[in-house]
């Protein structure tokens, strides 16, 4: 009997130990259930907040009044594109409407249109666009400027990154990448036969410009140099595009992303970088030190109520899009005009 009692005691001890372990597991399972319940609650609260924000943005966009600049024009003798950054007042100038008409558009409060009009204005006012002159565009996408300059008798070499280049996927998906000369044809701007006579297309890596691209009278790019990997790569491109592809006296006009909210912090590397005022001023000093003339780089003040409007992701391309939020920075477009001096 003594042996049997001992065996029972041992068995009872093992059973108690098992029950204790099971109890611990039960407590841990209950704790996990509570944690999971909290996480699910947090998740659905996040979804709810996201939906509220989405609905608020959509309501804001649908309820936003979008002015028609071409119906509220400034006096013709008002200063035009006085500053290097995109300004709402530019869209209200009669000459802006004339230049927009050249690309088959009406004034539209969008910074991409501003960039094209800025490039048109600077190159036409410089006098370098004439019958027989030669122009070179980098990162052309599907923009209408090659057709416009060709309609004025200029020969245009349109270039873009090879289709397999890193980062091109986004441009292809959003229909902003032109893989051939056909993507640049605008029948309302220039007849097909004339266009094909004056416009060529080829691939070009902006970080390594082919040496055969040289002796042009003018070149330009519209928000391309900020996609070259780093701030320095973009600045190097501008210098190389001036010194290696232009004849002496030739004009370069380049637009890029401009940090309107900080002159200290910014995106310095990656698919998109953002140039601060100090970065542009450093580039201007570098070009001047190398013997080139740079148009004064003046950043205009917030002078119109639309200059305060900031578009946030997902961007509303049909609304007011003069400034936008990239990462944590408020950005707009800015232009740089350079005449090769040596």
| CA-to-CA dists, residue 60 to 46, 54, 88, 259, 332, angstroms | 21, 10, 20, 25, 21
pLDDT digits (tens, 9 = 90+) for 238-270: 999 999 999 999 999 999 999 999 999 999 999
Which one, of 18, 20, 22, 41, lies nearest residue 30 by Cα? 22
Residue 123 falls inside a structural domain: yes
pLDDT digits (tens, 9 = 90+) for 16-63: 778 878 878 888 888 888 888 778 777 877 777 766 666 655 555 555
Which one, of 314, 299, 309, lies nearest residue 109 by Cα? 309
pLDDT of residue 173: 46
Residue 6 falls inside a structural domain: no
pLDDT of residue 3: 63
Residue 210 clears pLDDT 80, i.e. is over it: yes
Residue 217 falls inside a structural domain: yes
Give rounded-to-5 percent helix, strand, coil for the chain.
45, 20, 35
Residue 3 falls inside a structural domain: no
CATH of the domain at 117: 3.40.50.150
Collapse the DSSP code of 254 into the 3-class scheme (helix H, G, I; strand E, B; otherwise coil) and give the result.
Answer: strand
Collapse the DSSP code of 248 into the 3-class scheme (helix H, G, I; strand E, B; otherwise coil) and give the result.
Answer: strand
pLDDT of residue 59: 55
Query: Are residues 290 and 342 in contact, defined by beta-carbon separation less than 8 angstroms?
Result: yes
Average pLDDT over residues 220-229: 98
Residue 117 falls inside a structural domain: yes
Percent of the chain with pLDDT over 90: 71
Query: 153 is written with which tokens?
Result: 């008798």
Please state, rounded to an integer, the average pLDDT across all residues of the chain: 89
**Helix (H) and strand (E) counts for the chain?**
8, 10
d(CA 195, CA 42) in angstroms, rounded, equals 59
Domain that holds residue 153: 69-306+332-339
Number of domains in the chain: 1
Residue 160 falls inside a structural domain: yes
Residue 193 clears pLDDT 80, i.e. is over it: yes
Torsion of the alpha carbons at 15, 19, 20 and 26, rounded to the nearest 10: 160
Residue 172 clears pLDDT 60, i.e. is over it: no
Which one, of 322, 330, 335, 296, lies nearest residue 89 by Cα? 322
pLDDT digits (tens, 9 = 90+) for 332-341: 999 999 999 9
Residue 93 clears pLDDT 90, i.e. is over it: yes
Query: 310 is written with which tokens?
Result: 């900031």
Residue 145 clears pLDDT 70, i.e. is over it: yes
pLDDT category at 316 given cuts 50, 70, 90 is confident
Of 24 and 90, the structure prediction assigns the larger pLDDT to: 90
Residue 226 clears pLDDT 60, i.e. is over it: yes
pLDDT digits (tens, 9 = 90+) for 274-283: 999 999 999 9
How many angstroms from the chain centroid is the CA of residue 41?
A: 37
pLDDT of residue 7: 64
d(CA 143, CA 186) in angstroms, rounded, equals 10
Which one, of 233, 244, 58, 223, lies nearest residue 136 by Cα? 244
pLDDT digits (tens, 9 = 90+) for 149-162: 999 999 999 999 98
pLDDT of residue 31: 83
Residue 165 falls inside a structural domain: yes
74 contacts: CB under 8 Å, gap ≥ 6: 89, 92, 93, 94
Residue 105 clears pLDDT 60, i.e. is over it: yes
Collapse the DSSP code of 242 into the 3-class scheme (helix H, G, I; strand E, B; otherwise coil) and give the result.
Answer: helix
Residue 18 falls inside a structural domain: no
């Amino acid at each position: 009997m003594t042996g049997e009692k001992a065996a029972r005691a041992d068995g009872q001890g093992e059973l108690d130990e098992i029950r204790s372990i099971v109890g611990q597991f039960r407590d841990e399972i209950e704790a996990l259930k509570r944690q999971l319940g909290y996480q699910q609650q947090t998740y659905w609260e996040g979804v709810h907040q996201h939906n509220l924000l989405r609905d608020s943005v959509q309501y804001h966009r649908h309820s936003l009044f979008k002015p028609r600049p071409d119906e509220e024009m400034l006096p013709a003798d008002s200063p035009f594109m006085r500053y290097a950054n995109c300004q709402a007042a530019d869209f209200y100038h009669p000459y802006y409407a004339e230049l927009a008409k050249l690309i088959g558009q009406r004034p539209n409060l969008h910074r991409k249109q501003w960039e094209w009009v800025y490039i048109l204005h600077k190159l036409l006012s410089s006098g370098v666009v004439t019958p027989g002159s030669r122009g070179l565009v980098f990162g052309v996408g599907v923009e209408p400027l090659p057709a416009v300059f060709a309609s004025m008798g200029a020969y245009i070499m349109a270039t873009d990154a090879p289709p397999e280049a890193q980062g091109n996927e986004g441009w292809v998906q959003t229909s902003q990448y032109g893989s051939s000369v056909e993507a640049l044809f605008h029948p309302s701007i220039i007849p097909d036969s004339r266009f094909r006579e004056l416009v060529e297309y080829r691939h070009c890596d902006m970080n390594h410009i082919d040496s055969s691209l040289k002796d042009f009278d003018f070149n330009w790019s519209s928000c391309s140099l900020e996609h070259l990997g780093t701030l320095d790569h973009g600045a190097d491109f501008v210098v190389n595009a001036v010194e290696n592809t232009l004849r002496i006296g030739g004009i370069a006009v380049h637009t890029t992303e401009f940090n309107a909210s900080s002159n200290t912090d910014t995106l310095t590397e990656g698919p998109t970088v953002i140039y601060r005022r100090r970065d542009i001023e450093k580039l201007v000093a570098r070009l001047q030190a190398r013997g080139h003339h740079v148009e004064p780089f003046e950043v205009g003040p917030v002078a119109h109520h639309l200059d305060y409007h900031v578009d946030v992701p997902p961007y509303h391309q049909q609304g007011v899009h003069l400034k936008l939020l990239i990462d944590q920075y408020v950005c707009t477009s800015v232009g740089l005009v350079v005449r090769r001096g040596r």
